[in-house]
Structure 1
Amino acid sequence: MGRIDAYGSASGGLGVSHIDRPTISYSPLSGEDFSRQLLTPIPSASIFSLAQSGWPAGQLMMMSFERINHLRNSAFVPVLRQEQIKQLEKFELAVKLIVQLGKHNAFDSYYGEGKDANNRYFAFDTDPNPETQELITQFKKILKLDQDISVFRITERQVNLKPNEITIKLRSLLTLMGFLAHGVEVPAAHLQEKFVEGKSKL
């Protein structure tokens, strides 16, 4: 009689055995490829996919989005100027509206087809209920989008936008790491041991 042991080994009565122990190899990026990965903006498709998979959409966008049309996310400065605070408030409102629109299934983000496969689009529901329509109207207004257009091509350009385009620019992985690092408090013991350089908040 043949048998299979706990390690995936199989043997038969003829004295022939087979061992299935797959090897996983890791090839870490280095040099130019590594730098490119760190400095290239995160694709917006990745963030929308994570949000659709159940990740907290608001937190994802506040961390990773650098700009939505003319609205910029928070800058990496100790103190924001008054105009920066006002713009950040509008940016946060735009993100909250995207989250609410998502809960209403009021928009979709998708790639084009054929020759248009490299373009990604942000499309609104064309037959929403009154409550959802109010959210769409408010979102378009705060981003200065044409109220009569329902499908917008996503671009990273910040100037010379066409009426049917919307700027969604994301941070790079390196920038995102720097943003998250602002919330890290270094233990005094690590500073004393010279693990890191800086000042402890303790």
Structure 2
Amino acid sequence: MRRAAALLVLVAATACTTVGPRALRFSRGTYNTAIQQTNSEQLLLNLVRLRYRDAPLFLEVTSISSSLSLELGAGLGGSVGSNNNSVAPGSAVTFIDRPTISYAPLQGSRFGKQFLSPVELSDILLLYHAGWAIDRIFRVFVQKLGPLQNAPRASGPTPPNAPEFESFFTATDLMRSLWLDGMVDVNYQSSVAGDSLTLTLTSRTADEPRIAHLCALLGLPGPIQRITLTESPRPDEVGAVQMVTRSLLGGMYYVSHGVEVPPEDYAVGRVPTTRDGDGDLFDWARLTGTLMRIRHSRREPSGAYVSVFYRGLWFWIADNDLESKSTFSFITQVLEMQSGEIKSAAPVLTLPIAAE
């Protein structure tokens, strides 16, 4: 018994100095991976919901707390017989992790502010300086640029008529080309008259045809070096172009048209259809093909970047589809930017989990 007691003291002393750091090394990475994965699955699920005109719902993880405990036990065991009498001490050590995870649905004023407010021009600048391609930013979160329309009705439920977007895409392709060549600089200004972004275009030749073409598309009188993008341009302002941004939910609706659905869902009316001027079914891949492609299958896909099961199908993004993964990460980053401070919201669901 004395040996068993001494052993327990030694085990307890050792465990108390190692259980905390070891638990931190194990649990922090595990929780981090789980939150990242479930956040991605939740975003993908809501994109699919929007394609089917189902209501989206975001459930935020507001807090995670973990309680670690150490339980020690000791006892004696043995046998008594005519030829063999033995007694042996025994000990037991049990580590128990009891995490408590709190969830809060995103609703009310926070939902309106985060998802329904147009993306601010200052956020456009932050995304640009974060390294996101200028054409990706504009295609997802800008629905009007001067006279150019970028499928403004695609910022909501799927419209019945084919959208207008070709000239807008031509302009953003020119912006990307100039941006890749280091000929575009973007700055933000805030004044009493309103916020604005300034595109400074520098040419390497006396006559840069791409700049002239871009200015012509934007309705500017001639090739100029400074283009001011603002929500309310003044009539006498030279080089000013109106820019209307989308909300976060509008951007999600826009890329949700990259969800591929089975023909039978079109046939029975589960998914709204869009038709062109000739009455033919419009292919939304023309709009989202370089931004987002969410595939479907009857079986759980292998090699998926993220996947969810919904309406009896697996919807997923391929791990080697870098364009879709980039847009998905882009939306995720904007979602984090718009989230602001996390506050408790009622009702809060708290799940205590006991694991031994």
- TM value normalised by structure 1: 0.64
2:172 is aligned with 1:95: yes
State how 1:108-127 maps to structure 2 within 5 Å.
108-112=185-189, 119-126=195-202
AA in 1 matched with 2:252: M
How far did residue 36 of structure 1 move? 2.5
* 1:114-142, Cα deviation, whole Å (9 max, x unpaired): x67x733323245x212882211111111
Q: Residues of 2 paired with 1:98 and 1:31: CA distance? A: 38
2:135 match: secondary structure: helix
AA in 1 matched with 2:199: A
* Residue from 145, 152, 161 that aligns with 1:79: 161
CA separation of 1:37/1:107 partners in 2, compared to 1, >3 Å: closer, same or farther?
same
Greater per-residue strand proportion? 2
1:50 is matched with 127
How far did residue 174 of structure 1 move? 1.9
2:108 is aligned with 1:36: no
* 1:160-190, Cα deviation, whole Å (9 max, x unpaired): 47323222211111222222333324679xx
1:137 is matched with 212
Identity of aligned residues (%): 24
CA separation of 1:66/1:53 partners in 2, compared to 1, >3 Å: closer, same or farther?
same
2:270 is aligned with 1:198: yes
2:208 match: secondary structure: helix
1:102 match: secondary structure: helix
For structure 1, list consecutive stretches of 5 or more residues without a partner in the other structure: 9-21, 189-196
1:164 is matched with 239
CA separation of 1:92/1:162 partners in 2, compared to 1, >3 Å: closer, same or farther?
same
- TM value normalised by structure 2: 0.40
How far did residue 46 of structure 1 move? 3.1
CA separation of 1:133/1:37 partners in 2, compared to 1, >3 Å: closer, same or farther?
same
AA in 2 matched with 1:150: Q
1:99 match: secondary structure: helix
State how 1:173-188 maps to structure 2 within 5 Å.
173-185=248-260
Contact 1:64–1:171 (CA<8 Å) still a contact in 2? yes
1:175 match: secondary structure: helix
CA separation of 1:173/1:123 partners in 2, compared to 1, >3 Å: closer, same or farther?
closer
CA separation of 1:133/1:49 partners in 2, compared to 1, >3 Å: closer, same or farther?
farther
Contact 2:189–2:196 (CA<8 Å) still a contact in 1? yes
Q: Residues of 1 paired with 2:205 and 2:185: CA distance? A: 18
2:241 match: secondary structure: strand
2:53 is matched with none
2:147 is aligned with 1:70: yes
The alignment yields a C-alpha RMSD, in angstroms, of 4.1
Instruction: Pick the structure with greater CA Rg.
Output: 2
Contact 2:142–2:244 (CA<8 Å) still a contact in 1? yes
AA in 2 matched with 1:97: L
How far did residue 28 of structure 1 move? 6.8
AA in 1 matched with 2:160: P
How far did residue 57 of structure 1 move? 3.8
* 1:34-88, Cα deviation, whole Å (9 max, x unpaired): 21322211124434543443434433322221011111112433332xxx64xx2
1:41 match: secondary structure: coil
AA in 2 matched with 1:137: A
Q: Residues of 1 paired with 2:272 and 2:185: CA distance? A: 44
1:98 match: secondary structure: helix
